[in-house]
Amino acid sequence: MKTYKLVLLGFGNVGQALVRLLLEKRSELEHRYSIRFLVAAVATRTHGRALNPDGLDLGKALEIMESGNSLDELSPSPAPIDNRELIKASGADVMFENTPVSYKDGQPAISYIETALENNMHAITANKGTVVHGCHHLQDLAADHGVKFFFESTVMDGVPIFSSFRQLPVVGLISIWGVLNSTTNLILSRLEAGDSFDEAVRYSQEIGIAETDPSGDIDGWDAAVKLAALITVLMDHPFTPHMVDRTGIRSITPEMIAKAKAEGKRYKLVAHAWKKGEKIKAKVSPELVSSNSILYNINETTAIVQFKSDVLGKLSFIEEDLGPRTTAYGLLADFINAVRG
């Protein structure tokens, strides 16, 4: 049985949820999939970093994060400050990259993934910026090194969107439509229930689904980058979030919510991409939906995406209760799929 060495770049909501899930599934991984693992290195920006090629104490790492102390104390000797040096020094088989998203250029995450792939490590990420700004280049680099670059968790967390489409050859997508950002969906549901905007945002942060900087969600960037990732990968058409016609939910007032409610309607932040001739158009904006729309009952942390294609008609994925644990599941599934080929 092989023991896979892992390196974790980023140890926030998602990185910690991944470690909890790995520990929870440890025995099943061994017995059903012949996979053993150890975490050789972990890095954060302000909570320290640790390196031990023989394996770090993961229970202790989680405790340290809960107490707000530094991971440095786990490291037998000081870990390299530069993330690329840390990745190399870990001697890992698999790198998990879960640092904050950059909508602008996907950096520095792309450079970490390049380092991992160049050192023959599988690279797995929940970071959407790496897909829209580096997908094709990173997939080619992975292929050159006989490893995988997987990113299932970047859109709708654990829902197997990208892996499903790997099983659906020659499907021609005509449009992509849905509610892709669960934070704004939760905020809109909380506003309907009577929360102020600030209270709704705070709640989303407390349960770990809002990004470090919630403006990414509120201003529609998160939905735009997810839509761009779907277009880039599934329509094979490079697309960045800046190409999406984007409006967030800041302009939605409690009065608008109340009026919509009185009319039996709801606001949803709708993401839509469609083919127009040879071009692809994409838009993220708040829309009023009536009770006869499938979106009307997509509330709180539920998300939906519907694909219209030339052969399958309309195919939808709905996921309830998204969050760090479901994101961690997507990463774990990618890990198993990567190492089992």
Q: Which residues bind ligand NAP (CB under 6 A)?
A: 9-15, 43-47, 83, 98-101, 108, 126-128, 153, 157, 208-209, 211-212, 323-324, 327
- The CB-of-42 to ligand NAP minimum distance in angstroms stands at 9
**Nearer to ligand NAP among residue 128 and residue 148 (C-beta):** 128
Q: Dihedral (C-alpha) 128, 130, 135, 137: value to the nearest 10 degrees? A: 180
Residue 62 structure tokens: 């989680």
- The CB-of-142 to ligand NAP minimum distance in angstroms stands at 19
- The CB-of-247 to ligand NAP minimum distance in angstroms stands at 20
**Nearer to ligand NAP among residue 56 and residue 289 (C-beta):** 56
What's the CA gap between 23 and 16, in Å, rounded? 11
- The CB-of-250 to ligand NAP minimum distance in angstroms stands at 20
**Nearer to ligand NAP among residue 29 and residue 186 (C-beta):** 186
Query: DSSP per residue over 240-258, as a string?
Result: -GGGSEE--STT--HHHHH
- The CB-of-313 to ligand NAP minimum distance in angstroms stands at 28
Unique residue bearing structure tokens 């023989």: 54
- The CB-of-327 to ligand NAP minimum distance in angstroms stands at 4
State CA 64 to chain mean position distance: 24
**Nearer to ligand NAP among residue 127 and residue 309 (C-beta):** 127
**Nearer to ligand NAP among residue 12 and residue 91 (C-beta):** 12
Q: Are 327 and 126 in contact (CB under 8 A)?
A: yes
What CA–CA distances, in Å, run from 58 to 5, 96, 339?
13, 15, 21
Q: Where are the alpha helices (DSSP H) in the chain?
A: 13-24, 26-33, 58-67, 83-90, 109-118, 128-144, 161-166, 182-192, 197-206, 215-218, 221-234, 254-262, 324-339
Residue 128 structure tokens: 């959407």
Q: Angle at Cα 260 formed by Cα 256 and Cα 266, nearest 5°?
A: 110
SS (H, E, C) 75-141: CCCCCCCCHHHHHHHHCCCEEEECCCCCCCCCCCHHHHHHHHHHCCCEEEECCHHHHHHHHHHHHHH
- The CB-of-48 to ligand NAP minimum distance in angstroms stands at 8
**Nearer to ligand NAP among residue 17 and residue 257 (C-beta):** 17
**Nearer to ligand NAP among residue 83 and residue 232 (C-beta):** 83
**Nearer to ligand NAP among residue 200 and residue 257 (C-beta):** 200
Using CB positions, name the residue nearest to ligand NAP.
12
Q: What residues form DSSP beta bridges with 267?
A: 288
- The CB-of-114 to ligand NAP minimum distance in angstroms stands at 15
Enter the DSSP assignment of 180: -
What's the CA gap between 233 and 151, in Å, rounded? 11
- The CB-of-293 to ligand NAP minimum distance in angstroms stands at 25
**Within 10 Å of residue 96's Cβ, how many Cβ atoms?**
30
Amino acid at 142: A
**Nearer to ligand NAP among residue 98 and residue 184 (C-beta):** 98
